[in-house]
Structure 1
Amino acid sequence: MLSWIREIALILVISIVLSFVIKTFFFKAFYIPSESMVPTLEENDRIFVNLMVPRNFGLQRGDVIVFKDTKGWLPPSTDGTQNWFQKTLEFIGLLPDTSQQYLIKRLIGLPGDHVVCCDAQQRITVNGVALVEPYVNPAEVPRPVPFDVVVPAGDVWVMGDNRNHSSDSRFHNAAQPGNGFVDEKDIEGQAVVIAWPLNRLRTLSNYSSTFSSIPAPH
């Protein structure tokens, strides 16, 4: 009996350690709290984020990225519903991160890119090339929010797929010029798969063909 208990305890310890290592260095689970990325991501989806981007691999236009809210885009969190056990499971990676400190958007502009809204057909342009964006929510025609920016070194420009319901780089740049950019150091990783609910299990595309014809920034 004692030997059996020791084996179970050892398995549990190894599982917890492996989960913590995976969550710290490779993949981390997150919870989607809003509709800003519909239809790509629905509210209450659980996703896995590749932590090796941009730590070990470069960012690409079109990546869906999770980043820390260091510029106050979100209101202060008032969610105190989690108990110590849930917080512990989140910490070691056995539950998705439900913290309100993170946002998720699609990367549209890399450092040096000239990103503009909009051309005569109301399309976003990057370095003079108009984007055809199949990931944008087809249920609503996006309201144009004019901007004309050059992304500074070390920053990126991000937008939600649900354009009419996403408080992203466009709005924060307009309110406080420069604050619409996201610091690369704040990027947690690239969202790669929807893990829950099971009927939405799928990988997430960065739509590389949409951005393939964009030239390097001047």
Structure 2
Amino acid sequence: MRSDNGPWPRLLVVALIPGLVVLAARAWVVEPVIVSSDSMVPTISTGAVVLLYKPAAASGRIRNGVVVAFTSPLDGHTAIKRVIAGEGQTVAIRDSELYVDDVAVPEPFVDHSRIDGTYFGPVKVPAGRVFVLGDNRGVSIDSRDFGAVPLTAIQGTLLTGQK
């Protein structure tokens, strides 16, 4: 005896598959994140929605200059900052100018006139960590405050807002 339930089982499968694909992509590939601070202005505005690319974090190879999201060591929330230096590199700020391994790093996204007279370091980035800074240095709470971020805390790189 054959039971015919009509088109419902097939429609259910057809409706569920796209939803499962979207959920899987969000869990393992790309996730939207709302920016809740002004520490990356002017690159990324407060309230902007950016896309977080997760496979980049899994690789463990994050290059300097990339904007990343990570779990903040201060409160456990997601923070967004720019990677300035990787393990073994030395970071210093002299009169608002960034130096990595004693070489000045051009930063067209930073308003140096607002942070004139800022000094920091030098500090060497420990193994398995990256040094992060906000582009809006005057208000950013970053590696100058909480130290270098473990690579294991990196959630992903931003697909938008890169300079």
Normalised by the length of structure 1, the TM-score is 0.66
- Equivalent residue in structure 1 for 2:133, among 153, 159, 163: 159
- Equivalent residue in structure 1 for 2:38, among 31, 35, 38: 35
Matched, 1:47 2:80: no
Q: How many residues of Structure 1 are paired with residues of Structure 2 in the alignment? A: 157
Paired with 1:188 and 1:112, the residues of 2 have a C-alpha distance of 22
Which protein is richer in strand relative to its size?
Answer: 2
Q: Paired residue for 1:141?
A: 114
Q: Secondary structure of 1:164's partner?
A: coil
Alignment of 1:125-204 (within 5 A): 125-137=99-111, 141-143=114-116, 144-172=118-146, 180-193=147-160, 204=161
Structure 1: gaps spanning 5 or more residues: 75-99, 173-179, 194-203, 208-218
Displacement of 1:16 in angstroms is 2.0
Q: Paired residue for 1:103?
A: 79
Paired with 1:44 and 1:13, the residues of 2 have a C-alpha distance of 32
Change (3 A) 1:124 1:22: same
Paired with 2:62 and 2:14, the residues of 1 have a C-alpha distance of 37
Paired with 2:43 and 2:14, the residues of 1 have a C-alpha distance of 37
Paired with 1:10 and 1:135, the residues of 2 have a C-alpha distance of 48
Displacement of 1:4 in angstroms is 6.8
CA deviation map 1:60-98 (0-9, x unaligned):
1000000012x2x23xxxxxxxxxxxxxxxxxxxxxxxx
Q: Paired residue for 2:7?
A: 3
CA deviation map 1:123-155 (0-9, x unaligned):
1100110112011147x5225142210000001
- Given that 2:92 and 2:119 are in contact with CA atoms closer than 8 Å, whether structure 1 keeps it comes out as no
Instruction: List, as ranges, runs of 4+ consecutive aligned residues in structure 1 with deviation greater than 2 Å.
Output: 2-7, 9-12
Across the aligned residues of Structure 1 and Structure 2, the Cα RMSD in angstroms comes to: 2.1
Paired with 1:188 and 1:114, the residues of 2 have a C-alpha distance of 24
Matched, 1:117 2:120: no
Structure 2: gaps spanning 5 or more residues: 1-5
Paired with 1:62 and 1:21, the residues of 2 have a C-alpha distance of 28
Paired with 2:57 and 2:20, the residues of 1 have a C-alpha distance of 24
Which protein is richer in helix relative to its size?
Answer: 1
